[in-house]
């Protein structure tokens, strides 16, 4: 089973990178840009047929390693 | 909002303190005012438990331009040059989020230094972790080291020295102390004292977010099982913006626009504005709706307590606003006039023209509570260890244990992650007793080192306090620098516990005695209490950061042996003090007994004469003898030099382990060219210095007559293995 | 010889390179990134540091700045261009040099002295070095792991465009002597016309005996020829 | 209109970070893990009502700044 995980900074946490990227895009003439948030992305494939249990395992991976829960939020999606 | 008991408690205020607030205001505070009080009255900002003890430290000397009381201390290094430096702790935030905690610790201390008009030229750090086998240690070590590097490397200031130690006492409470050193022109130092009424108060730097709200109170509260929940208050550092802020501030400082300037550190806008007003005996009025905010709907409470990084408050001379604004715009930084100085002696907070808070400045600063907490003295532990009763070992095995231990292993795993060379003035990187930084475009240089000895301080705080100052002084001497002044970071447990308070009082007493005797004043520092969890406090860990001067840098002196057949001299008397030694700890897990005695008279004499020998160019390499004793010192001198040494058996019959592993103080090992030995001996004899010629350098082997012989390669491997396999 | 050093917000080796250039008797100018024209120069240097915080990817944002358009124009008309460390990263982002610099293999910032070997001593940047000369230089980077396509790598080799390779003190190019995982130990490359050099090591840190060694001096004196 | 962009390393590009993450997860006992790829994630909001034109603008942002086409692939998805 394949899942994707997106990890983004929590709302109130300073995002210096996002700020610089946004300014640069605007300077490059992308005036319609309203907001850009960035984060990390993982595509994870696991050997597990049962969806809830698979999801649970992905959740464990996020909590144990992939996500810094102090400053980041995450979302899991099933891909296939 | 009604101020309930819970609210008061959540602000870290005691009932009596709240009553005091009511008395001062002659009414109940509103929540904003309560927040301001709590920020200013907590331990971190008010120094309420430490102030009466700190007063005892010697802070004067003809080299001192500015002692404690400003953002950083300032000393005179001759000509037009001044050195500005300070150390600060970021322990609690680093335990919660090691990367960001350590990074913002570096950012904060840098601001303290460039606020005073100095360009930072070096960073140091002292980091203490729990036992390597503790499940959290590895990730904390990784996070802290990359956080320190992440910030310093990006902003482009070399991280040149420090210490990395492990001890289970820090399992639940690591220590991250960062020190910054800057160079300024003596005539261009900037202070935080406000002057004049109706002057513009300007906010510059990053926008204000909800970071670290209540951070200062967090830093002053003991950890408990729920401390994980305090996580969202951790700030994120932005070294890129700090670099811009640094350059913009230094640019504005070139002319006469600034009356006073203060970084927003702990308790952000609150402490910076209050400090500036308090030092100038003025009032200050802030229009909070003008504060640049990162998030929508931020309240005045949040703005006053936010600990967003990379921000400064400046009071400008009349008419300089546009000029200053241009500079900050050039560097893409926010610049807003948010208030003015007043003659009311109040902190007046306005929000859309309405007064939302008003507090007398005095009540927040000079009249903040001060406690003379109960404390008890500690006796020198009497247990003597009879070495003959211990399980047999031999010199080689015992030495291997020490050199391969986490605390004595080669630290290049750590230091390779720091840019040590940027700015191109690092004449000596970390690895020796002290780093050497040349003053840009000049012949002179400074030497810097940070040191601590928690085991000694735990065993006998008074001796421990003296010992660290001496060790720090010795480290500077060992690279040929004249020690000038120190900064100190006092990391202790809960001050409400009388034993801990005793450790604090006595360490300070020890620091004081040593500093006075060595004429080595304290010019800045920081106190971090409440290090520990529940009832378990950390060992008392004062950290000393010293700065010394090398008048004319000809060749940086380090501790690597230079040639074959040089004569090795041991300066200072060896008594063989093994209690509290690394030998007993690493080989027998014994950590009882007293620390080695500190004789300030010998310390001073030995140091002065060693410095004299160095200045006369008689010394090829030098190393002070500290943790691990003589044999460890000698092996460190061989490991990176590719030269071995042959040490004769001690002439007087002594216990070999006491002789080679004893941690007696005031000692140095010097490498001397045989052709100079007569002159050297004469100087030593005239100076009344006890010394022994103990052997000579040789190729390839580390050897002790009749006892052991090891190849340098083997020593090197042993010393380099731990970090790489951790 | 006139040189210009481009200063981005976040550059931090700009002062170091300027000192080195001045020491070597270049007439140097600092050029702020917001300037829209370049002073007439024989050599343009993009220094090390963390331009724009190295956010997104190192060098990415600097590669889009206005002054860089001028730099590209100058380089295309033959001006000598040197990118050191972050400068190298920026040059790959502009496309003036092909390939890219990935994160170091060990995922850590690395600062230490390493050995590199001069592979081509017939360029304007290297004529004062011996062929195959071994130099000791300081590296300090997070992303120095050079990567490029197979085709480009062949081209680099065929046209002698590899400037330096990491090696050991005896000059052997080995895996152990590769600090960051760069493909074929590459530490620096030229463009086709050899008027552009990008390198990760810092020659400007190697011009003063008191601080390090003087292995960087000949790079600058080659340029003066 | 809101889009998400995921950026991943091309297959033939060495991914030391991905490897370390994978090994660490396996060491943490996640034995079912078959494969993990990681990359960057952007959530971009723009002021543009017309979907094709909006998508085109996002594509420009990717090409001009967000993606290093030499080593990275990207995918754009409409979120709302
Ligand atoms: N242990 C100490 N020894 C000497 N001075 C100290 C010590 N601790 C704090 N100070 C001084 O008290 C003042 C306030 O310290 P602190 O609150 O840490 O400064 P900041 O507001 O810059 O963080 C500083 O001038 C500092 O140098
Ligand atoms: Mg300060």
- Per-residue pLDDT reduced to its tens digit, A51-70: 999 999 999 999 999 999 88
Q: Which ligand is nearest to the CA of B116?
A: 2
The rounded distance, in Å, linking the Cα atoms of B73 and B71 is 7
The rounded distance, in Å, linking the Cα atoms of B443 and A52 is 69
Q: B498 Cβ partners below 8 Å, 6+ apart?
A: B373, B374, B375, B376
Q: B366: which 2 tokens?
A: 């000079």
- Expressed in angstroms and rounded, the spacing between residue B72 Cα and the centre of ligand 2 is 7
B525 C-beta closer than 6 A to ligand 1: yes
- Listed by number, the residues of chain B in 84-143 with a beta carbon closer than 8 Å to a beta carbon of chain C are none
In a mutational test of the C interface, the residue from B422, B558, B720 whose CB has the highest number of chain C CBs within 10 Å is B422
The rounded distance, in Å, linking the Cα atoms of D17 and D3 is 26
Label residue B62 left, alpha or beta by phi (over 0 means left) and psi (-120 to 50 means alpha): alpha
Q: D55: which 2 tokens?
A: 């998508």
A20 has a chain C CB within 8 A of its CB:
yes
Nearest to B220 by CA among B576, B617, B526: B526
B184 C-beta closer than 6 A to ligand 1: no
- Expressed in angstroms and rounded, the spacing between residue B113 Cα and the centre of ligand 2 is 8
- Residue B640: the pLDDT is 86
Q: Enumerate chain A positions whose Cβ falls within 8 A of a Cβ in B.
A: 10-16, 20, 68-71
Search chain B and give the residue with CA nearest A65.
B139
C155, C156, C161, C166: CA torsion to nearest 10: -170
Interface predicted TM-score (ipTM) of this complex, two decimals: 0.91
The rounded distance, in Å, linking the Cα atoms of C207 and C217 is 5
Instruction: Please name the chains neighbouring D, where neighbouring means 3+ C-beta pairs under 8 angstroms.
Output: A, C
Active site residue C22: no
Active site residue B440: no
**∠ CA B615-B620-B626 to the nearest 5 degrees?**
90
**Most ligand 1 atoms within 8 A of CB, residue of B273, B525, B528 to mutate:** B525
The rounded distance, in Å, linking the Cα atoms of A38 and A16 is 11
Q: B435-459, pLDDT tens digit by residue?
A: 999 999 999 999 999 999 999 999 9
Closest CA to ligand 1's atom 12: B69
Residue reference for tokens 């390499």 = B621
Q: How many CB atoms lie within 10 A of CB D59?
A: 15
Helix axes B321-330, B239-252, angle to 10 degrees: 140
- Residue B546: the pLDDT is 98
SS3 C6: strand
CATH number of the domain enclosing C167: 3.40.50.880
Q: Is the dihedral of CA B48, B50, B55, B58 positive or negative?
A: negative
Distance of CA B568 to the CA centre of its chain: 33
B68 C-beta closer than 6 A to ligand 1: yes
The rounded distance, in Å, linking the Cα atoms of B549 and B633 is 24
Q: How far away is chain C from the Cα of A15, in angstroms, using its nearest Cα?
A: 10
Total domains, chain C: 1
Q: D13-59, pLDDT tens digit by residue?
A: 878 888 889 988 998 888 899 989 899 999 999 999 999 999 999 99
Partners of residue C149 in chain D, C-beta under 8 Å: 70
Partners of residue D30 in chain A, C-beta under 8 Å: 46, 57, 60-61
Q: B23: which 2 tokens?
A: 């008395």
- CB of C61 within 8 A of CB of A24? yes
- Residue B653: the pLDDT is 64
The rounded distance, in Å, linking the Cα atoms of B547 and B447 is 6
Q: B378 Cβ partners below 8 Å, 6+ apart?
A: B460, B461, B462, B499, B502, B503, B506
- CB of A39 within 8 A of CB of D46? no
B172 C-beta closer than 6 A to ligand 1: no
The rounded distance, in Å, linking the Cα atoms of B431 and B123 is 15
- Expressed in angstroms and rounded, the spacing between residue B418 Cα and the centre of ligand 1 is 26
HSE-CB of D40 using CA atoms within 13 angstroms = 22
Q: C140 Cβ partners below 8 Å, 6+ apart?
A: B153, B419, B421, B422, C48, C85, C109, C110, C111, C202
SS3 B424: coil
Partners of residue C56 in chain D, C-beta under 8 Å: 65-66
SS3 B313: strand
Pairing of strands C162-167, C110-118: antiparallel
CATH class of A2-79: alpha beta
- Residue B214: the pLDDT is 65
The rounded distance, in Å, linking the Cα atoms of B158 and C212 is 15
Residue in C50, C54, C111 closest to B420 by CB: C111
Closest CA to ligand 1's atom 10: B525
Query: Could you tell me the mean pLDDT of each successive run of 10 residues in chain C, 225 residues long?
Result: 96 97 97 93 97 92 92 96 98 95 94 98 97 98 95 97 98 98 97 98 97 97 93
> What is chain D's mean pLDDT, rounded?
91
Domain that holds residue C133: 2-224
- Residue B232: the pLDDT is 46
Mark the ranges of chain B whose per-residue pLDDT is less than 50. Answer: 216, 218-219, 225, 227-232
Choosing from B11, B44, B214, B623, the catalytic residue is B44
What residue ranges do the domains of chain D occupy? 2-79
B465 C-beta closer than 6 A to ligand 1: no
């Amino acid at each position: 089973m394949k899942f994707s995980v997106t990890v983004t900074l929590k709302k109130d946490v300073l995002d210096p990178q996002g700020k610089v990227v946004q300014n640069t895009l605007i300077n490059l003439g992308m005036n319609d840009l309203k907001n850009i948030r960035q984060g990390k992305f993982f595509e994870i494939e696991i050997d597990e047929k049962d969806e809830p249990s698979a999801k649970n395992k992905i959740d464990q991976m996020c909590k144990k390693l992939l996500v810094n829960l102090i400053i980041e939020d995450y979302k899991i999606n099933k891909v296939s | 909002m009604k101020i309930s008991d819970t609210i008061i408690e959540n602000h870290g205020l005691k009932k009596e303190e709240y009553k005091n607030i009511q008395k001062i205001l002659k009414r109940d505070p509103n929540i904003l005012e309560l927040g301001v009080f709590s920020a200013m009255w907590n331990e971190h900002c008010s120094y309420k438990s430490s102030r009466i003890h700190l007063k005892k430290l010697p802070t004067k000397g003809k080299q001192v331009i500015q002692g404690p009381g400003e953002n950083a201390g300032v000393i005179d290094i001759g000509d037009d040059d001044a050195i500005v430096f300070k150390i600060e702790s970021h322990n609690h935030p680093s335990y919660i989020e090691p990367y960001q905690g350590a990074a913002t610790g570096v950012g904060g201390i840098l601001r303290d230094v460039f606020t005073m008009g100095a360009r930072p030229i070096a960073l140091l750090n002292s980091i203490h972790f729990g036992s390597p086998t503790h499940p959290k240690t590895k990730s904390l070590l990784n996070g802290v080291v990359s956080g320190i590097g992440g910030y310093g490397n990006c902003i482009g200031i070399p991280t040149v020295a420090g210490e990395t130690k492990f001890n289970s006492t820090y399992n639940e409470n690591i220590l991250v102390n960062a020190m910054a050193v800057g160079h300024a022109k003596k005539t261009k130092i900037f202070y935080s004292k406000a002057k004049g009424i109706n002057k513009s108060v300007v906010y510059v730097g990053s926008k204000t977010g909800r970071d670290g709200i209540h951070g200062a109170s967090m830093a002053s509260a003991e950890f408990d099982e729920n401390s994980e929940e305090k996580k969202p208050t951790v700030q994120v550092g932005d070294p890129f913006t700090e670099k811009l802020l640094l350059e913009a501030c230094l640019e504005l400082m070139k002319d006469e626009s600034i009356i006073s300037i203060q970084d927003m550190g702990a308790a952000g806008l609150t402490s910076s504005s209050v400090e500036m007003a308090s030092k100038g005996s003025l009032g200050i009025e802030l229009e909070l709706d003008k504060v640049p905010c990162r998030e929508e709907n931020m309240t005045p409470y949040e703005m006053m307590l936010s600990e967003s990084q990379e921000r400064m408050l400046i009071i400008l001379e009349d008419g300089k606003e546009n000029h200053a604004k241009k500079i900050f715009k050039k560097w893409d930084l926010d610049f807003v006039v948010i208030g003015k100085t007043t003659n009311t002696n109040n902190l007046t907070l306005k929000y859309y023209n309405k007064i939302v808070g008003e507090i007398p400045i005095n009540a927040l600063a000079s009249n903040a509570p001060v406690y003379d907490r109960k404390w008890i003295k500690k006796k020198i532990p009497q247990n003597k260890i009879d070495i003959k009763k211990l399980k047999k070992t031999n010199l080689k095995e015992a030495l291997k244990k020490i050199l391969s231990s986490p605390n004595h292993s080669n630290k290049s795993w750590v230091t390779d992650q720091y840019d040590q060379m940027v700015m191109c003035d690092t004449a000596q990187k970390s690895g020796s007793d002290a780093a050497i930084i040349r003053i840009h475009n000049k012949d002179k240089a400074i030497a810097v080192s940070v040191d601590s000895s928690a085991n000694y301080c735990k065993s006998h705080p008074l001796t421990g306090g003296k010992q660290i100052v001496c060790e720090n002084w010795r480290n500077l001497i060992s690279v040929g620098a004249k020690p000038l002044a120190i900064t100190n970071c006092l990391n202790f447990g809960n001050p409400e516990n009388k034993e801990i308070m005793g450790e604090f009082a006595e360490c300070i007493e020890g620091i004081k005695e040593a500093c006075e005797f060595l004429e080595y004043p304290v010019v800045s520092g920081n106190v971090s209490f409440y290090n520990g969890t529940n009832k378990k406090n950390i060992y008392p860990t004062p950290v000393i950061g010293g700065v010394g001067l090398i008048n004319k840098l000809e060749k940086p002196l380090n501790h690597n042996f230079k040639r074959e057949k040089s004569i090795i001299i041991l300066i200072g008397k060896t008594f063989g003090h093994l209690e509290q030694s690394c030998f007993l700890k690493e080989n027998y897990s014994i950590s009882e007994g007293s620390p080695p005695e500190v004789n300030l008279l010998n310390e001073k004499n030995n140091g002065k004469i060693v410095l004299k020998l160095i200045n006369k160019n008689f010394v090829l390499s030098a190393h002070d003898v500290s943790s691990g004793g003589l044999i460890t010192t000698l092996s460190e001198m061989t490991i990176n030099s590719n030269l071995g040494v042959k040490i004769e058996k001690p002439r007087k019959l002594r216990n070999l382990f006491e002789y080679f592993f004893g941690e007696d103080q005031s000692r140095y090992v010097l490498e001397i060219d045989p052709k100079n030995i007569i002159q050297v001996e004469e100087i030593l004899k005239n100076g009344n210095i006890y010394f022994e010629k103990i052997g000579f350098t040789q190729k390839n082997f580390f050897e002790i007559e009749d006892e052991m012989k090891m190849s340098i390669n083997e020593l090197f491997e042993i010393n380099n293995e731990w970090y790489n396999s951790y | 010889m006139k040189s210009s050093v481009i200063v981005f917000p976040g550059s931090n080796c700009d002062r170091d390179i300027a000192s080195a250039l001045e020491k070597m008797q270049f007439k140097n100018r600092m050029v702020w990134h917001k300037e829209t024209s370049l002073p007439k120069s024989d050599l343009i240097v993009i220094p090390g540091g963390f331009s724009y915080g190295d956010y997104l990817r190192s060098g990415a944002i600097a590669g889009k700045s206005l002054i860089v358009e001028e730099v590209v124009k100058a380089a295309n008309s033959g001006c000598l261009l040197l990118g050191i460390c972050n400068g190298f990263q920026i040059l790959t982002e502009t496309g003036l040099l092909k390939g890219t610099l990935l994160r170091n293999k060990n995922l850590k910032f690395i600062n230490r002295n390493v050995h590199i070997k001069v592979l081509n001593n017939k360029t304007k940047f290297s004529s004062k070095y011996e062929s195959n000369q071994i130099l000791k230089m300081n590296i300090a980077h997070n992303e120095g792991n050079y990567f490029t396509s197979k085709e480009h790598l062949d081209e680099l080799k065929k046209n002698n465009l590899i400037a330096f390779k990491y090696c050991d003190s005896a000059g052997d190019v080995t895996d152990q002597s590769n600090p960051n995982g760069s493909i074929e130990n590459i530490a620096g490359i030229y463009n086709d016309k050899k008027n552009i050099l990008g390198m990760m090591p810092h020659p400007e840190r190697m011009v003063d005996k008191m601080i390090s060694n003087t292995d960087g001096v000949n790079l600058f004196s080659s340029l003066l020829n």
